[in-house]
């Protein structure tokens, strides 16, 4: 006589054990992915968020030490790298083409990578979590990565900037921050 019922029960038990471990592994991967996203993109939750007029915005550094946040240029979603050392809001040639930005006069830019030539432009609307401005001076810089826009002082200059530890707070000055 064979014990075929016991073999089926054993296979069922092994299958449940494998399924349990697969679920645990999947949950760990999901949790670690969330942790990694939070460290590389701590301000991602700002996408589509809008602050009340005059309300300060606080950003957190990513694990590379930069302040990166989602925003829009001319109502198109972009990723900003806040750069208080940049004069203008600087975009790549490819992004400028996608946004159909008008080319202004030729300009020479001094960057961390040396001297670069590009063009000045005007951005109709720039927004960072509801901190919005119109007619912002910008620069189209060849060789920039398409994914990131340098958010320079032509936008940031309208805010009090306070950096403390791992956070940067932008507070609108004299009515700036709402659409102007």
Residues 126 and 139: their CA atoms lie apart, in Å, by: 13
Check pLDDT > 60 for residue 40.
no
Query: What pLDDT digit, counting tens, does each position of 121-149 carry?
Result: 999 999 998 789 999 999 999 888 777 89
Query: What pLDDT digit, counting tens, does each position of 69-120 carry?
Result: 999 999 999 999 999 999 999 999 999 999 999 989 999 988 777 888 999 9
Calculate mean pLDDT across residues 167-180: 73
Contact, 174 vs 127, CB < 8 A?
no
Contact, 143 vs 116, CB < 8 A?
yes
Average pLDDT for the chain = 82
pLDDT of the residue at 144: 82
**pTM confidence score:** 0.71
């Amino acid at each position: 006589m064979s014990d075929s019922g016991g073999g089926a029960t054993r296979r069922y038990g092994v299958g449940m054990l494998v399924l349990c471990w697969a679920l645990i592994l999947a949950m760990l991967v999901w949790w670690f992915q969330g942790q990694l996203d939070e460290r590389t993109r701590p301000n991602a939750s700002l996408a589509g968020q809008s602050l009340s007029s005059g309300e300060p915005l606080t950003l957190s550094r990513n694990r590379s030490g930069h302040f990166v946040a989602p925003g829009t240029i001319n109502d198109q979603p972009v990723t900003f790298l806040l750069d208080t050392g940049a004069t203008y809001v600087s975009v790549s040639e490819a992004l400028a083409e996608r946004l159909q930005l008008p080319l202004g006069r030729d300009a020479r830019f001094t960057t961390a990578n040396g001297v670069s030539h590009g063009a000045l432009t005007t951005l109709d609307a720039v927004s960072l979590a509801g901190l919005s401005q119109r007619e912002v001076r910008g620069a189209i810089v060849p060789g920039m990565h398409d994914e990131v826009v340098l958010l320079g002082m032509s936008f940031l200059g309208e805010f009090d900037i306070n950096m403390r530890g791992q956070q940067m707070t932008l507070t609108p000055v004299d009515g700036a921050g709402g659409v102007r």
